[in-house]
Amino acid sequence: MESDDRQLVRQVQGGDQRAFRTLVERYQRKVFAMALGMLRERGAAEDLTQEVFLKAYRHLGNFQGASSFYTWLYRITTNLCIDQLRKSRRFVEVELEDQAFEGSAEMVAQPLGFDPARAFADREIRERVLRALDMLSPNHRAAILLREAEGLSYEEIAETMGCSLGTVMSRLFHARKRMQAELSVLVEPAAAEEGR
């Protein structure tokens, strides 16, 4: 996939717009998922996704391939989302925990108490998840989305967000802890349902 991306990027740099369409089709759902997780509103996420690809197209001439195309694309996405959230001031930025974190980002990865596959069928669960994401600061939200929704490694997240590995682990630790607290309300109805 990565070498294929590089080939497509070279074709776009040579003026081939069909190659760019292939890249859009390949990554549009991932970029949209990231934008939706960050912004929560579908319309805003759609507009931002378009903006990401238009910006990527404008700057692709300068893309040297030092990083992979998708981490470059996620960097554009993350930066645009964080800019938009800062402009709308829809959050309180508290990230004092980012410093000096030496634990494991996985240490609070406890069972939720219900089947995550329920999210596919249950819109209410999805709405709860998006609301819980909305409670996180933009940087914590971006870190957990890059990890869980996009499947990036810690190193790739650090590269995308322009921070250290320790900061990534700290952001993930606190984001997961907060998310689990916000979503604990889902466990009781699930347990009650199973008891019937």
Q: How far apart are CA 81 and CA 49, in angstroms?
A: 10
What does the H/E/C string look like for 82-116? HHHHHHHCCCCCCCHHHCCCCCCCCCCCCCCCCCC
**From residue 129, how far is each of 98, 107, 108, 184 by CA, in Å?**
23, 20, 17, 11
Place of tokens 């759902």: 29
Q: Does 148 sit near other proteins (CB under 8 A)?
A: yes
The residue within the footprint of other proteins, chosen from 29, 83, 93, 103 (CB under 8 A), is 29
Three-state DSSP class for residue 92: coil
User: How far apart are CB 139 and other proteins at their closest, in Å?
Assistant: 16
Least Å distance, CB 93 to other proteins, is 21
Q: Which of 129, 135, 165, 190 binds other proteins (CB under 8 A)?
A: 129
Q: Interface with other proteins by CB under 8 A: which residues?
A: 13-17, 20-21, 24-25, 28-30, 32-34, 36-37, 42, 46, 49-50, 53-55, 57-59, 61-62, 75-76, 79, 106, 109-112, 116-117, 119-120, 125-126, 129-130, 133, 144-145, 147-149, 151, 176, 179-180, 183
